[in-house]
Amino acid sequence: MSRARILFARFVMREIRRARGMRAVPSVGRAHVSLARLCSRVPWFPMRAPVTVRPLAPLDSAAARALADTVLGDAPYAPSMLAPLDGALRSDSEEYRALVVGEHTALIGLIVFGATVGALGAGRIYFVAVDGRARRRGLATALIEAACAELRSRGGRFVAMEMPEEPRLDGARAVALRAGFRPEGRVSDYVREGVGLAFLRRDLVGSHDSGC
């Protein structure tokens, strides 16, 4: 058993004894102690909690920009991804929309998407950003599903995503593929020499509808 698991087991037993007000270790099945409550108090214990996805609000402006800046960093493609966020912050238009996930007073997730002007039924996801401390909780998937659902409700037939073929984006690409996106094409050496641009697509209606 790993040291982390041993420490966690000791923590649970200590809390059970405290809850029952007795020194002997009681039967776990008889102790009225919430395991979820105990786990939530251990910072390194992974817990998946329901999240609420909501539209970007004007008060989110500074936090949204800060999150995007942190996630994108100094990547050469950052400006082209931040421009749609600026568009969503300026106005809630069909072309630029955004959804966020908040936790307590912090904004921990963001997706920017919209309809493709001049292309009937075509949608686009510009980028998804999740705070590094809140990853591996399904937030990116939840944001993608919410964006797809909104696009479909507005008549969208498919949604496209452009993704630089950077090693640092391998995780994001894996999330997109699990969310039902499929490779549609690529442009070699687009970002810079040796780094291309991949095009991903997800159908929103018909036999390939992934259920968003």
The tens digit of pLDDT for each residue in 19-53 reads: 555 444 334 444 344 444 444 444 444 445 566 89
Residue corresponding to tokens 């909780």: 137
Span 113-166, pLDDT tens digits? 999 988 889 999 999 999 998 988 899 999 999 999 999 999 999 999 999 888
Q: Pick the closest to residue 92 from 66, 61, 70 (CA basis).
A: 61
Work out the mean pLDDT of the chain and round it to a whole number.
Answer: 81
Please work out, in degrees rounded to the nearest 5, the angle formed at the alpha carbon of residue 67 by the alpha carbons of 157 and 112.
15
Beta carbons of 202 and 181 less than 8 angstroms apart: yes
129, 110 contact by CB (below 8 A): yes
106 vs 112: CA distance, rounded Å:
18
Percent of the chain with pLDDT over 90: 48
Domains of the chain: residue spans and CATH? 3-40 (no CATH), 53-203 (3.40.630.30)
Where do we find the tokens 């307590």? 104
